[in-house]
């Protein structure tokens, strides 16, 4: 496959609320290449999950794509703009070529059906296999995601599985039709650290074996360091910094990125170093400040930050939306 699997350009998403329109995504642009992982990272309310729902065509009824393009390269090489694709065509892509893993499996898995039936239903929608062949394929997927005693789990219901096993079932459900693009929305947040590490290792292995591209959505910079090739940092509905993962961790240049790295435990941080929280909160969509949305929380802000700011190139694909970038390297990352 030549060219990016996913190319999001100037994406804008709006929501109608209480008789007025608010903008949730503002000119969001990023590119995901074959076999690579791009992490979208930021606090709750930054626009990460809205981006994923826009890509999947699953925005709620009061939401709409108000501008921009989402170009997806299909396995046959054909490029489609998902923002203009009819719903009938989107249904063909969802679960087959484009799949998604959600944060909490119990919100998606139906408690009234066995996991075997639910994975098999996805196959039935996209692959005309007979019942015996479907069951065999489902078993293969459960074994692929390392479900213990997979054959005996086919007829289990979701509540009979642990949280880690349910998340593995979600991965099997997402990958059963061999998608080229996988969107993982906080897939390990609800899991303990040990199970989280196992799930991340599993996803890396499956990505290598299947050649998938992954859009990984998270607020955890530690997870970003483990899984990502490239990173896009989001704040208040816009991307404020983009770079290769090594560049971002070595030279975080936006004050918000610095704040994220300084406010959470990170591998390699000197023992005893104090964590510093970012003051304030993400502004509500209906009360965005003029200019830079991060300015009210930023120690470096001045009158220049009252004006609109766009992403500019720092070099070698490192882009930042800031009038006062931080230039020194971070020694401990």
Q: Give 226-261 pLDDT, tens digit per residue.
A: 999 999 999 999 999 999 999 999 999 999 999 988
Q: Residues 167, 173: contact at Cβ < 8 Å?
A: no
Q: In this structure, is residue 261 part of a structural domain?
A: yes
Q: Which residue has the higher pLDDT, 71 or 268?
A: 71
- pLDDT at position 332: 42
CA pair distance 239, 72, nearest whole angstrom: 20
Q: Say what angle helices 163-175 and 193-210 make with each other, to 10 degrees.
A: 20
267 pLDDT exceeds 70?
no
Mean pLDDT to the nearest integer, 132-157:
92
Mean pLDDT to the nearest integer, 256-269:
76
Mean pLDDT to the nearest integer, 192-211:
89
Q: In this structure, is residue 14 part of a structural domain?
A: yes
Q: In this structure, is residue 128 part of a structural domain?
A: no
Q: Give 116-128 pLDDT, tens digit per residue.
A: 999 998 888 887 7
Structure tokens at 316: 């070698």
Which pairing describes strands 312-315 and 238-244: parallel, antiparallel, or unpaired?
A: unpaired
- Please, where are the H alpha helices in 145-241? 150-153, 163-175, 193-210, 221-227
175 pLDDT exceeds 50?
yes
- pLDDT at position 1: 56
Q: List phi, psi (to 5°) of 147.
A: -75, 120
19 pLDDT exceeds 50?
yes
Domain count, the chain: 1
CA distances from 276 to 138, 215, 262, 292, 324 (A): 47, 28, 6, 22, 20
| Residue-number span of the structural domain to which 69 is assigned | 6-97+179-320
Q: How confident is the model at residue 333 (pLDDT cuts 50, 70, 90)?
A: very low
The CATH number assigned to the domain holding 303 equals 3.40.50.300
Cβ-based neighbour number of residue 333 at 10 Å:
17
- Backbone Cα Rg of the chain: 21
331 pLDDT exceeds 50?
no
Q: In this structure, is residue 290 part of a structural domain?
A: yes
- pLDDT at position 327: 76
- pLDDT at position 270: 59
**177-214 core/surface letters (b: 16 or more CB in 10 A; e: else):** bebbbbbbbbbbebbeeebbebbbebbeebbeeeebbb
Mean pLDDT to the nearest integer, 44-48:
90
Which pairing describes strands 6-17 and 181-185: parallel, antiparallel, or unpaired?
A: unpaired
For residue 101, count CB atoms less than 10 angstroms from its CB and return exposed for 0-12, middle for 13-18, buried for 19 or more.
Answer: buried
Q: In this structure, is residue 113 part of a structural domain?
A: no
Q: For tokens 């996805």, what's the residue?
A: 122
Q: In this structure, is residue 243 part of a structural domain?
A: yes
- Please, where are the H alpha helices in 243-316? 245-250, 255-262
Q: Which residue has the higher pLDDT, 191 or 5?
A: 5
Q: In this structure, is residue 306 part of a structural domain?
A: yes
- pLDDT at position 315: 86
CA pair distance 133, 282, nearest whole angstrom: 50
Computed over every residue of the chain, the mean pLDDT equals 89
Q: In this structure, is residue 75 part of a structural domain?
A: yes
302 pLDDT exceeds 70?
yes
- pLDDT at position 149: 93
Q: How many CA atoms lie within 13 A of 229 on its CB side?
A: 13
Least confident stretch, 76-80, 160-164, 191-195: 191-195
265 pLDDT exceeds 70?
no
- pLDDT at position 272: 59
Least confident stretch, 53-67, 91-105, 140-154: 91-105
> Would you give the distance in Å from CA 135 to the centre of its chain?
30
**Helix (H) and strand (E) counts for the chain?**
10, 12
Q: Which residue has the higher pLDDT, 327 or 198?
A: 198
């Amino acid at each position: 496959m030549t060219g990016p699997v996913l190319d999001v350009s100037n994406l804008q998403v709006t929501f109608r609320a209480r008789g007025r329109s608010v903008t949730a995504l503002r000119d969001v642009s990023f590119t995901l290449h074959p076999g690579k992982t791009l992490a979208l990272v930021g606090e709750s309310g930054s626009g990460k999950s809205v981006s994923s729902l826009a890509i999947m065509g699953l925005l709620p009824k009061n939401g709409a794509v108000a501008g921009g393009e989402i170009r997806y390269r299909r396995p046959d090489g054909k490029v489609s703009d998902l923002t203009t694709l009819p719903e009938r065509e989107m249904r063909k892509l969802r679960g087959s070529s484009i799949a998604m893993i959600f944060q909490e499996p119990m919100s998606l898995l139906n408690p009234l059906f066995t996991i075997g039936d639910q994975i098999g239903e996805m196959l039935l929608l996209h692959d005309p296999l007979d019942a015996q062949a479907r069951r065999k394929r489902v078993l293969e997927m459960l074994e692929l995601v390392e479900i213990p005693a997979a054959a005996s789990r086919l007829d289990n219901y979701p509540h009979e599985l642990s949280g880690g096993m349910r998340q593995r079932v979600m991965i099997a459900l997402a990958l059963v039709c061999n998608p080229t693009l996988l969107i993982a929305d906080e897939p390990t947040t609800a899991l303990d650290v040990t199970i989280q590490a196992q799930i991340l290792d599993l996803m890396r292995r499956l990505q290598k074996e299947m050649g998938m591209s992954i859009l990984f959505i998270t607020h955890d910079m530690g997870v970003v360091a483990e899984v990502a090739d490239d990173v896009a940092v989001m704040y208040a509905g816009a991307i404020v910094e983009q770079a290769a993962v090594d560049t971002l961790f070595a030279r975080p240049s936006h004050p918000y990125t610095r704040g994220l790295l300084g406010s959470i435990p990170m591998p390699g941080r000197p023992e005893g170093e104090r964590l510093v929280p970012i003051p304030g909160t993400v502004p509500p969509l209906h009360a965005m400040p003029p200019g830079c949305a991060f300015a009210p929380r930023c120690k470096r802000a001045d009158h220049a930050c009252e004006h609109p700011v766009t992403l500019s190139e720092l070099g070698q694909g490192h882009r930042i939306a800031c009038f006062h970038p931080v230039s020194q390297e971070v020694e401990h990352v």
